[in-house]
């Protein structure tokens, strides 16, 4: 589970990313080109993955309390299911937002779980002062991700000595802020080898609240002075830090895959790589996440499995959602997902390329002070992304967005009010009315 990784990966077509290990995994497995999360933020997305449930507006309103809200964990979580079926379960790094959320589901929890503390220590001295005086944040000491991956690899060795089946979750924190990496990862890039910001001037015809108000690192002492008006030199350095962090995360993936091989477990172990949401690097004039834009909701998803040995290098265009991963993994392992799971196993897609699948994915975001007054519900339909913004108090529609990604892959021009797209808007609205349950029922009826 990789934090804040958008599809800026070589296997997904990025001309900039140095990601040989993820690319190699994709060459041996199935890469999903249209995988979407339900809310572009860490906690709700991870909760959704691990419970198979879709987050709600009310849960987002809980903020930090949501991280330890046990009622959301009622039912059987993904590690619960494996543990109940006599798999050894282990967690290393940031899996849930904080590991205590589901502590009894794990037989083994890594020793470096307090990520908020550890990441703060990367930036701050004991008296709370910043260690860094430059935006080029590099480190020559081991970082928490490296410690967690090393612990996971060591644990693989002990697992190889037993006949038990196992479920291991490893959370890699980079490229989440703060973008501190070893020098070797920083040196993979240069100022002219970085993603260019997509439509930095902002969208045309979109409501002002389509994008969040400010970037998420606005309070960092070295950036706060600029607000959202970052000088190009600062913006370049930040993009550099993000991409160096992507390559650092890729190296951690490589260590895990190498460890699996050396433990003699690779030949009969399924590997799933997923990110909790995407990220904007000045795209549409905004940094961070918390939007319905495809840059925020579309994520890498790669599955390599011995049962899919002939599928290596396959690119699958079927639309899948985060809640679908739980029932898919369960079915592939011969287990039954609990009734609380709200996703749909896409094993038929893995078994039969080109299977007619979901017409849309569903995600949402919120705006305004708590209690949130405005909700944006979004459908990604492959070619189109359709979003409806409603007043939560009255239910009135405040705005609509429609983007045609065949001619506008950057989602720069809102075409919801264009007469030539009236039929598309009508079709998208009918899918929204069907809801995720209706869409899944349609899939079941067709297959």
Annotated catalytic residues are 42, 97
- Cβ atoms of residues 238 and 220 within 8 Å: no
Q: b/e map of 293-323 (b: 16 or more CB within 10 Å)? A: bbbbbbbbbbbbbeebeebeebebebbbbbb
* Rounded distance between C-alpha atoms, residue 440 and residue 358, angstroms: 7
DSSP state of 247: H
- Cβ atoms of residues 243 and 195 within 8 Å: yes
Residue 377: count of CB within 10 angstroms of its CB: 17
* Rounded distance between C-alpha atoms, residue 278 and residue 175, angstroms: 10
Strands 108-109 and 88-93: parallel
Residue 86: count of CB within 10 angstroms of its CB: 8
- Cβ atoms of residues 29 and 269 within 8 Å: no
* Rounded distance between C-alpha atoms, residue 80 and residue 422, angstroms: 47
371: helix, coil or strand? coil
Bridge partner list, 281: 287
Bridge partner list, 172: 2
60: helix, coil or strand? helix
DSSP string, 123-166: HB-TTS-BS-SSS--B-SS--HHHHHHHHHHHHHHHHHTS---E
* Virtual torsion, Cα 170, 174, 177, 179, nearest 10 deg: 150
- Peptide bond before residue 178 is cis, with ω within 30 degrees of 0: yes
Strands 314-321 and 166-171: unpaired
Q: Taking the CA atoms of 15, 21, 26 and 27 in sequence, report the sign of the dihedral they define.
A: positive
Residue 18: count of CB within 10 angstroms of its CB: 18
* Rounded distance between C-alpha atoms, residue 332 and residue 352, angstroms: 14
């Amino acid at each position: 589970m990789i934090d804040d990784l958008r599809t800026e990966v070589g296997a997904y077509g990025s001309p900039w990313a140095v990601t040989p290990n993820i690319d190699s995994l994709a060459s041996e497995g199935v890469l999903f080109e249209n995988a979407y999360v339900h809310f572009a933020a860490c906690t709700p997305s991870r909760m959704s993955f691990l419970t198979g449930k879709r987050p709600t507006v009310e849960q987002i309103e809980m903020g930090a309390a949501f991280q330890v809200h046990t009622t959301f964990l009622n039912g059987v979580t993904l590690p619960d299911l494996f543990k109940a079926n006599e798999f050894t379960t282990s967690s290393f790094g940031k899996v849930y937002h904080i590991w205590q959320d589901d502590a009894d589901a794990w037989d083994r929890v890594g020793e470096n779980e307090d990520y908020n503390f550890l990441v703060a220590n990367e930036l701050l001295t004991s008296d709370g002062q910043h260690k860094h005086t430059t935006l080029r944040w590099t480190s020559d000491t081991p970082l928490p991700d490296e410690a967690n991956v090393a612990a996971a690899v060591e644990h693989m060795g002990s697992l190889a000595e037993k006949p038990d089946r196992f479920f291991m979750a490893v959370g890699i924190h980079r490229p989440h802020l703060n973008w501190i990496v070893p020098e070797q990862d920083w040196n993979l890039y240069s100022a002219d080898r970085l993603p260019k910001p997509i439509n930095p001037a902002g969208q045309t015809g979109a409501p002002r609240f389509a994008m969040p108000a400010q970037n998420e690192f606005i309070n960092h002492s070295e950036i706060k002075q600029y607000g959202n008006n970052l000088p190009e030199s600062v913006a370049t350095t930040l993009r550099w830090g993000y991409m160096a962090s992507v390559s650092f995360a890729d190296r951690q993936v490589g260590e895990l895959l190498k460890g699996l091989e050396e433990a003699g477990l690779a030949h009969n172990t399924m590997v799933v790589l997923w990110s909790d949401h995407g990220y904007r690097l000045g795209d549409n004039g905004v940094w961070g996440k918390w939007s319905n834009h495809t840059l925020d909701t579309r994520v890498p998803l790669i599955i390599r499995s011995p049962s899919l040995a002939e599928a290596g290098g396959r690119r699958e265009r079927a639309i899948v959602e985060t809640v679908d991963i739980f029932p898919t993994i369960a079915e592939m392992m011969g287990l039954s997902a609990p009734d609380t799971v709200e996703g749909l196993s896409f094993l038929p897609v893995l078994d039969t390329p080109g299977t007619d699948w979901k017409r849309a994915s569903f995600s949402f975001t919120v705006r305004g002070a708590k209690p949130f007054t405005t909700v944006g519900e979004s459908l990604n339909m492959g070619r189109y992304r359709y979003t409806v913004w409603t007043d939560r108090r009255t239910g009135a529609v405040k705005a609509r967005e429609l983007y045609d990604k065949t001619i506008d892959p950057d989602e720069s021009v809102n075409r919801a009010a264009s007469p030539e797209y009236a039929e598309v808007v009508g079709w998208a609205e009918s899918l929204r009315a069907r809801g995720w349950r209706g869409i899944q029922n349609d899939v079941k009826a067709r297959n």
